[in-house]
């Protein structure tokens, strides 16, 4: 297997099956891509800028399809413009929930490998491990200026934060949106009554700490090697300001680096302003929190494209916009107006509806306009592709499996140039399904917790996975078994990691007393308890309880 033509990046086993078959064609394409990238560098005086925008919980079909926009009662003209001027993906796969998806796209690894397969909650006492390598680290190594804005959702420990992972600037939420309403202020307890338990006047609740993380920090303003500071309070008012602040900082960052002629990488994963309860007049006929948020975000994306054009850097900037996972159809979503539109299932599912997301790529002059790419692409591929585009493939660590493959040829050459025809779909740390070409095999059977009766679907004639097929399963069963065996063999050779663990919110300059108390309390408890509370932090849930983690629903 190990041969001089094999890429130094260590891929999952399946990739080598394809590499052996397509080595010569790919080598020819790569040579051409190198020439074109080099020409671009000469023309623009530096490496291409890369901007990645990724938002929550949107069904494929809700964006970029005008007939559906009419039916769903909201429009996204600027994302439609990205489609008309670039690529609209029709088989872009994500992980099935926020934390796993974010971990995947920024490390190029399925989150089961990094211990990030399950949604991270306050207080999680953990997050992305310090030794995982992100796109920001890979591109920083090539001289990129890097910035992260808004919903990180990859952990509450310092080592997991973006400015400890290669981002020069980081203005971010360590958790998800819920932290804004689950706060001691109780400012929206009338519509989210459960959040009232943050009050301390309930005599029946004896535990001061367990369910009341009142030292929780919602927004952190960080600078690499310089500082971490809490920004605002954990309340609805602060929440409502995060995206506008992020966008202002992002535009300033772009202006500055364009002026300095320095290549930049920006990840903006918005907080979705419409997700919090508000009395504002609605701007869409749909009026749900998702539609309202997307309309707002779409406006910003239009401003961003205009700015890149005005600055004269549009032709040297790759912009990728996408959702992080399917709609939150489990755990009552009606307030947000989320619904599966074309594919069955939503957030937390390994059905297509959970993981097949809307996505667009725009790079005027390099990506040809008006394309549909119906190739299979997975969000982990953005890690490897951004590395290649930025000249940083050599900075990718070679001691671990990288699930992402280099899709630069697909960007440059369009539909039919993907370097994968398969994808492994996890739900938490369980392998839910495997897709190969038009076929999908479920390893977990819905309604059952064990995979004794795998079901099999043809995604072309049955995109909603509603009619299990026997005949093609007979035909392809051996192939799927071998894919599984190879995948598991590779996992045996390169075992999954646990996530990072530790005391949350250390190192914050302006930490509040109740934030500092989290660590102090742990220290105190360690002295007084008949066990070490930090052992609980490393606690791994036994298999028989894991099914409950599969469909997380709330981001």
By CB under 8 A, tell whether 341 contacts a copy of itself: yes
Per CB under 8 A, the list member of 5, 35, 461, 548 interacting with a copy of itself is 461
Q: What b-and-e string marks burial along 167-197, b requiring 16 or more CB atoms within 10 Å of the CB?
A: bbbbbbbbbbbbbbbbbbbbebbeebeebee
Q: Which two structure tokens, joined as six digits, stand for 474?
A: 């007979």
Cα–Cα distances in Å, from 56 out to 95, 341, 354, 358?
Answer: 12, 15, 12, 11
d(CA 276, CA 299): 19
279 binds a copy of itself (CB under 8 A): no
- Is 286 a binder of a copy of itself (CB under 8 A)? yes
> Does residue 351 interact with a copy of itself by CB under 8 A?
no
* Pick from 300, 281, 369: nearest CA to 77: 300
Comparison of 155 and 289: residue with beta carbon closer to a copy of itself:
289
Tell whether residue 193 is a contact of a copy of itself (CB under 8 A): no
Least distance in angstroms from the C-beta of 345 to a copy of itself: 12
As measured in angstroms, the least distance from the Cβ of 246 to a copy of itself is 27
For a copy of itself, the closer CB: 278 or 469: 469
Shortest gap between Cβ of 247 and a copy of itself (angstroms)? Answer: 27
What are the C-alpha distances in Å from 528 to residues 3, 205, 421?
A: 58, 20, 56
- Smallest gap from Cβ 372 to a copy of itself, in A, equals 5
Which residues lie across from 87 on neighbouring strands?
A: 361, 371
For residues 360 and 321, the answer to whether their CB atoms sit within 8 Å is yes
Cα(371)–Cα(365) distance, integer angstroms: 13
Among 288, 390, 392, 432, binds a copy of itself (CB under 8 A): 288
**In this structure, what DSSP letter does residue 531 have?**
S
* Contact flag: residue 404 with a copy of itself (CB under 8 A): no
Asked if 91 touches a copy of itself (CB under 8 A), the answer is yes
Q: Of the two residues 30 and 462, which places its CB atom closer to a copy of itself in the complex?
A: 462
By CB under 8 A, is residue 68 in contact with a copy of itself?
yes
Residue 369 is a binding residue for a copy of itself (CB under 8 A):
no
- Residue 150 Cβ vs a copy of itself, minimum distance, rounded to whole Å: 25
Taking CB under 8 A as the rule, does residue 425 contact a copy of itself?
Answer: no
- Provide DSSP, 335-381: GGT----SSS--TT-SSHHHHB--EEEE-TTTSPSSEEE-S-EETHH
Residue 553 touches a copy of itself, criterion: CB under 8 A: no
Kind of pairing between the strands at 264-269 and 49-55: parallel
- Distance spanning both ends of the chain, measured CA to CA: 41
Helices (H) and strands (E) in the chain, counts: 15, 18
Min dist CB 262 to a copy of itself, Å, is 37
* 72 vs 102, beta carbon nearer a copy of itself: 72
For residue 474, state whether it binds a copy of itself (rule: CB under 8 A): no
Scanning 68-76, 159-167, 296-304, 512-520 for contacts with a copy of itself by CB under 8 A, the matching segment is 68-76
**Does 64 interact with a copy of itself (rule: CB under 8 A)?**
yes
**Cβ-contact 133, 109 below 8 angstroms:** no
What's the min distance (Å) between Cβ of 469 and a copy of itself?
7
- Nearer CB in complex with a copy of itself: 48/64: 64
Positions that interact with a copy of itself (CB under 8 A): 61, 64-68, 70-73, 88, 90-91, 285-288, 291, 329, 334, 337, 339-342, 372, 374, 438, 459-464, 466-467, 469
């Amino acid at each position: 297997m190990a041969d001089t033509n094999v890429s130094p990046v260590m891929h999952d086993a399946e990739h080598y099956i394809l590499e052996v078959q397509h080595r010569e064609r790919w080598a020819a394409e790569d040579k051409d891509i190198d020439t074109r990238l080099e020409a671009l560098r000469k023309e623009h005086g530096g490496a291409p800028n890369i901007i990645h925008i990724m938002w929550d919980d949107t069904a494929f079909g809700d964006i970029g399809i005008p007939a559906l926009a009419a039916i769903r009662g909201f429009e996204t003209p600027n994302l439609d413009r990205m489609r008309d001027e670039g690529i609209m993906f029709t088989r872009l796969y994500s992980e099935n929930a926020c934390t796993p998806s974010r971990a995947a796209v920024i490390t190029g690894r399925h989150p089961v490998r990094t211990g990030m397969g399950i949604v991270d909650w306050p207080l999680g006492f953990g997050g992305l491990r310090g030794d995982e390598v992100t796109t920001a680290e890979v591109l920083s190594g090539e001289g990129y200026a890097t910035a992260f804005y808004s919903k990180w959702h990859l952990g509450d420990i310092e080592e997991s934060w973006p400015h400890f992972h290669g981002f020069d600037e980081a203005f971010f939420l360590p958790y998800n949106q819920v932290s804004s309403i689950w706060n001691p202020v109780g400012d929206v307890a009338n519509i989210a009554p459960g959040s009232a338990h943050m009050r301390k006047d309930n005599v029946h609740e004896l535990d001061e700490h367990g369910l009341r993380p009142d030292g929780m920090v919602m927004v952190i303003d960080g600078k690499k090697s310089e500082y971490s500071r809490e920004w605002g309070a954990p309340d609805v008012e602060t929440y409502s300001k995060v995206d506008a602040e992020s966008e202002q900082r992002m535009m300033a960052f772009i202006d500055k680096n364009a002026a300095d002629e320095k290549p930049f990488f920006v990840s903006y994963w918005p907080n979705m302003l419409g997700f919090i309860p508000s009395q504002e007049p609605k701007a869409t006929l749909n009026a749900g929190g998702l539609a309202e948020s997307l309309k707002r975000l779409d406006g910003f994306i239009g401003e961003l494209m205009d700015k890149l054009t005005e600055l004269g850097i549009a032709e040297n900037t790759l912009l990728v916009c996408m959702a992080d996972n399917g709609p939150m159809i489990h755990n009552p979503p009606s307030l947000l107006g989320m619904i599966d539109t074309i594919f069955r299932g939503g957030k937390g599912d390994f059905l297509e509806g959970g993981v097949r997301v809307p996505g667009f790529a725009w790079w005027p002059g390099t990506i040809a306009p008006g394309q549909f790419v119906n190739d299979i692409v997975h969000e982990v591929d953005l890690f490897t592709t951004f590395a290649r585009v930025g000249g940083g493939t050599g900075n990718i660590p070679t001691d671990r499996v990288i699930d992402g493959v280099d899709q630069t040829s697909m960007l440059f050459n369009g539909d039919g140039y993907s370097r994968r025809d398969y994808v492994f779909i996890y739900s938490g740390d369980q392998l839910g399904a495997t897709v190969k070409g038009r076929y999908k095999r479920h390893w977990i059977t819905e309604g059952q917790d064990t995979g004794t009766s795998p079901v099999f679907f043809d995604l072309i004639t049955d995109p909603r996975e509603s009619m299990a097929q026997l005949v093609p399963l007979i035909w392809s069963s051996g192939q799927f078994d071998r894919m599984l065996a190879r995948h598991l063999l590779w996992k045996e050779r390169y075992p999954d990691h646990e996530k990072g663990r530790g005391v949350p919110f250390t190192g914050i300059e302006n930490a509040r007393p109740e934030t500092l108390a989290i660590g102090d309390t742990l220290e105190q408890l360690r002295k007084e308890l008949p066990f070490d509370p930090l052992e609980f932090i490393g606690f791994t849930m036994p298999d028989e309880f894991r099914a409950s983690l599969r469909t997380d629903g709330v981001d």
